[in-house]
Amino acid sequence: MATTWSVRVLYTVLALAAGWVLAFNVVPPLAGPDTNLAYLQNRPVPDLVVVRDTGFRERMVANGYDLDDADATMPVMFPWKDTSDGTRDAATGLPPVELSFGNTMRLTFWGTEGSSRLMFALPPLAWAALALAVLGLLYKIARGVARGDAFSPANARPVAAIAGLIAVGGTTVQLGTFALDKLGIAHSAAAGIVDVPFRLTVAPLWIGALVLLLAEVFRQGARLRTEVDGLV
């Protein structure tokens, strides 16, 4: 009886996790600007941590920065202007961007449209697909537990698949996100002025390795169970 309730709780947790991923990682990137869902009203505007590119110094000078004045404040790097198409970048006529300074430089993309909007939508959708695939495999494992078959070859395989998804999938999504971020800047008013730094965390590889060890535990447990059953 206790096992039945434990499995039901696990099913509920997995369903809630899947609902969370759909609501907060799938719907926001796909929702248009006129979407009336209350929890989407304060969606953050896309922004990226950036570093100086080859044209940064030239743009500073062009916007009135005095290189010889140590106390000079940073200029507005990407001034805007109002046009018949709405607010645009003054230099390029592209959708406006804003560069903010602090511990890191951040570039905010205002009024993303078309392919630019798609580039910012793809990374969260890829992470969501990865999370949903892992949750699906966890559901498959939970079904094995419900049948009293926790340590079985059938359960070892999805655990190994989860390890692969986390390690390979997580790393691939990071690299893909970096490529899309570079592409997004290259097609924006900030092209040649700033760029995205390359960042890659090895956390997915470590987590994947740990889950792979767990898969081996399942496999060895299944083997021992088969040997014991053969002795009975």
Q: pLDDT tens digits for 122-181?
A: 999 999 999 999 999 999 888 877 776 666 667 778 888 999 999 999 999 999 999 999
> pLDDT tens digits for 76-131?
899 999 998 889 999 999 999 999 988 899 999 997 776 777 888 899 999 999 99
- Answer for the pair 202, 167: CB distance below 8 angstroms, yes or no: no
Q: Write down the pTM of the prediction.
A: 0.84
Q: Which amino acid is at 87?
A: T
Residue 228 zone, left/alpha/beta (φ > 0; ψ -120 to 50; rest): alpha
Sign of CA dihedral 82, 104, 102, 73: negative
Give the C-alpha separation, 60 to 190, whole Å: 13
List the one residue out of 81, 78, 116 whose CA is nearest residue 97: 78
- Answer for the pair 218, 226: CB distance below 8 angstroms, yes or no: no
- The b/e string for 22-36 (b: 16+ C-beta within 10 A; e otherwise) is eeebbebbeeeeeee
Could you state, in order of their start, the residue ranges of all structural domains in the chain?
2-231
Q: Which is more confident, 197 or 145?
A: 197
